[in-house]
Structure 1
Amino acid sequence: MVPIRAIDEDTFAVVDISGGRQEVIETLEMSRTTFTLYEGGIFIHQGLPYLVKEFDVNDKFALVERVNVDWTTSQRDYTDVDPVLIERVRALKFVDIPIYYGNIVKTSVVFGFFKVDKRGKILDTVEVNNPPVKYKSKGVWIDLPTDLVNLLKNHELNLAGAIHAVEHGVMNILPRYISVGNYDEIGCECKAPEKEFAHRQTQRRRPARLLLFDTKGGKQGNGLSSRIFACAELILQETLKIVEECTCPYGCPLCCAGMQCTENSLVLSKDGCRVILRYLLHDPTPLDGIPRGPEGNLPDIDIETVVPVQNVGMSS
């Protein structure tokens, strides 16, 4: 057992074991571990490569060893963010649709990685069996009603891309209404092209839900999602205004593409985003001026990746 000082519940220690050493060289917030710490991967510390020998989720440390290699690694992973307990609920001002605030759990799993050379060429694909990393926090969410889901599907718009675009659109305008220290203090479940653009039906189908969550502050969150819950209508109105006025065809960082998106905003439907926002703001003609899909920036989709929402329990 590596002796490690007491570590915050949401912080992992990176321990250098090169040459028999046992030195903590860095601590990482849990939100960063998925992208940097996985067994067999290369961890970069002060510009130098270290091989991750062990990643212990329970005791929150990773053992790394200094290596001299001319390649790095890029993780293959998925992240699910699910509400587990409703603390507050109210109806949106313009439509009889509930908005919720409460406890969420973010579950991240690295299932493999690419070995990549300096030119970005993939040298090898490696599968791993890493344990899931779970992060508990607070979040705010809206379950999309069935008729809205059907409206998007019947217009052949990408549902996953539409949800993704709304979430990033909201995140982009938050600093106008809420004091946000960094863009990474609020997060969403980014849609992965590897799953969304697949031609084989996935077992990991996700609920038709808009959800944002606090990425800092541990179980109690940092207060951002609570403030979104309080003024959601104003935020949704401003998001729609920005998206409608932006002249880009498919979504950009000025409207609904995520500047911090872990999947590079590849699964994005600007038109679907407009439909969802119009519907939530009680526009009687949400499809007005919206061309029928599929969207020009997305491939034809022949699998279902988004399904109706399951109920979440209320706190007592």
Structure 2
Amino acid sequence: MWRENNGGRSAGPPGRYPGVDLEERITAFTSGLDRHGGYRQPDREERRAAAEGLGLLLDGRPREAGKRLAGAGLHLTGLTDRATGRRYAEISEAADTGNSDSGGGAVRGWGRVYVDLSAPARWSVQVPHPVADADSERLGVGVLRGASGGVLVLAGAHREAGEDGAADVAHRRDTVFHALCDELVDRRMPGIQVHGFADDSVPGTDAVVSTGRGRHGLPQARGLARALRAQGLEVCRAWARSCELEGRTNVQGRRAAAEEVPFLHLEFSRSVRTDRERTEQVAAATAATTASWS
């Protein structure tokens, strides 16, 4: 059953909100991820606890959220991004923040969530393949910073870290990442998912813009494609012609399509992602597409 977003700002966890550079904090975390890193598949109850904890946070019940998240070894804290002055709630593994009192133990590769507390949560940006899609995490931060009301869902392991593709969260439903995105779809929150490709895998293309399995994000996809083209990028538009990397098998996109919730699947070339100026321009254009959702 669909649950409407409650329409108000998410209440953050109690305590201090230390100033950090959000991009530096996230890239410091992802710098420790590689294909040889550890990943433990969560069980059903752990996935449920993560999703319900996020839901409680979005409902303005941070104390209850913290308790529910702790049941899965996850920790809820607050921080202030020095670049924007915005406050965020951070959900992370207890072990990767040094919070031994929050349960947890070894880091399991389940990722992080950042919820903007300055405005009601209206949309998400999802980064399923940090490091594997190099610098996609920087792009995700740029999108989150670029508009209010965002939720960043970040995978916590290299896509090849798990056995038999277990850590490839864009193609698995039995992950914490998918459970979190599921919770957001239940609240009818549109999602933008960012990926990356090697330049020689799609020659002559800088970006692929797709609505994935569905078409409910088509107005935003068209607007974003126009904005990227205006920046001089060669864009393949998946609704207009066949493109490589359209994301039609992406499980978060398939769930969004089934519930008629807008979803954008974005792919950017390595050359775009390694160019700081281009990355900032792309992030700004992508964030601007959320205006109709905010």
TM beyond 0.5: no
Q: What TM-score do you get using the length of structure 1 for normalisation?
A: 0.28
Q: What TM-score do you get using the length of structure 2 for normalisation?
A: 0.29
Larger % of strand: which? 1
